[in-house]
Structure 1
């Protein structure tokens, strides 16, 4: 099978955690839904094309930045003592809030479309983009450093230990960790490895659910999520079976059971 390997760089970026409000926190790497959305936008797809994504990367540091925040309540009329803006007869509050930003982000993505005939389409969309690529917020511009179509193998036994690039982290399916297919963490003073990782339930794709009626539909997104560990210094032993591309880059994709 073929995959599109994409290397990106971003200056300042926020991959927002959906449950953060007062401080707009960020994930250490973009969630699957964010990458899938970028691919569909770049290719101009108007319907969902199933694909698998492997996400690796690193960042230099974190900073906090202020941004303008607008608040309004449905049906609340304008009150000059309470609201800063008037829109028609309604009031909108304007203030400041804080966003957490990652600095100097490097990403290594593998995109594996279920329909393999889309491989050249996706590769061309990133090689010659029709508009500026962004990942995270719309203003989080991504600089494309490499696009390469690579062959890859699933569940192949390695001839040697293979690690992610130095300093890189990755989203690893929890099942792979439970099955002890990967080693992650840092060696302690006695030579053992400490499992240092953060567990996330990341959005992947969604299906539309009608919670209204046939005559008055109310469509909601029912998100499908992936249970993963985020960890750095990840290694796969030569005694294990795992997935890698033709350049011995690890790919953290797992066949659905």
Structure 2
């Protein structure tokens, strides 16, 4: 298949390599560009755990070596890998999305054991600093990076769409799905979407893609919100 990867540039290479090894042709079209916020202040506290929902968050908080001995809870395995590479020694992995992450925290942590450091981007799909306090947790959210959304598609991708040289697009977050939809609309290429299969990491991603839907889209959702499930999903198309 001829596929488009929409992940940020820093995250696209491993996925591109794996898909190409499976025989697919791949175009990279980063719809979010990541900008670390190196001067973000992490309040001093006796944190019982650190929460990260992306590899970018793991890398950013990993620059603080004094935190490497603190337990870190990652949303999924790719985030966990980034945390280990950043120096964290005790890393626990959730099921791949915000709901699974919250469930793991509620089931395994004690609200009285200390606050949680929540390292995030400026925009989050599920804000755990709002949803965990009702369970008794103190959550200190620190924004350590921001992701700027593209407003339009690259000339190369527009040409590929016009020449019908794209079979599918991989979408890993609700914000990326929204950005894709808006960029396609901006460039007047809505009619090309009917030719594509949209591979979505989760139902939340698919829902964002269908918001204000103008035409019927071919959408398929991974069995689990994980990198491996996305690869399997593409393989069944």
**Shorter-chain-normalised TM-score: which range?**
under 0.3
Rg larger in structure: 1
More helix by share: 2
More strand by share: 1
